[in-house]
Structure 1
Amino acid sequence: MLATTEIWLREAAEALAGTVHSIKSGEFGKVKDAVECIKGLKAAVHLAIEEGNRVEKLRKQVAGSVGTGSLDMDAARDEIGRRLARLRDAGGD
């Protein structure tokens, strides 16, 4: 999405540069079109950023709900002990 936004911004900058050149040449007909183009680009970029933020927020909410259980350290130690005992019984160190 960032790459696409950069392309849009570069194209808008080129269009704006062309409009400035036209104005310097005495042609004012493209000014209104350029203003509308820039406004549309601004709205599109803003919308893309907002949607990206919403997706990221949702992603964080989903990830947060997966790991909401508390970590029981005693149970974890017991499990590690059981596994080590099995390894010792199997002939490992």
Structure 2
Amino acid sequence: MELTGELYRIAVEELNEAFAEIRAGRFAGAKEAKRAVRDLADLSKALLEERRNVERLRRQIAGELTTGLSGGGALDLGAARDEIGRRLARLRAAAGD
């Protein structure tokens, strides 16, 4: 994400420089301006796609965490309580209490 932001900043700087050239009557910069606009559009698309990928991965990980708890996507407190009880019983037995 940081790299994309830096590339975006560079493309904006190039676009601003090209516009300054055009305003000064030097139209050779028009080609550069067109390229800079295209680069900005490409970077914007890449940034949006990367955000979608990150969000999809975040949802997938969150789904795996919740479905792994009870199989149904919600925390099963009864099962958790039972498991804690079993573990405490094993600790007590191992300690000789």
| TM-score over 0.5 (shorter chain) | yes
- Structure 1 unaligned spans of 5+: none
Matched, 1:32 2:39: no
1:24-68 Cα distance to aligned partner (Å, 9 max, x none):
332112113312321232123213322430353145235414532
Matched, 1:87 2:91: yes
- Describe the shift of the 1:10–1:77 C-alpha distance in structure 2 as closer, same or farther (beyond 3 A): closer
Residue identity over aligned pairs, in percent, reads: 45
TM-score (norm 1): 0.67
Structure 1 runs (4+) deviating above 4 angstroms are: none
Rounded to whole Å, the distance in 1 between the matches of 2:66 and 2:3 is: 34
The corresponding residue for 2:14 is 15
Rounded to whole Å, the distance in 2 between the matches of 1:92 and 1:28 is: 89
Aligned residues: 92
- Structure 2 unaligned spans of 5+: none
Rounded to whole Å, the distance in 2 between the matches of 1:74 and 1:58 is: 29
Q: CA RMSD in A?
A: 2.8
TM-score (norm 2): 0.65
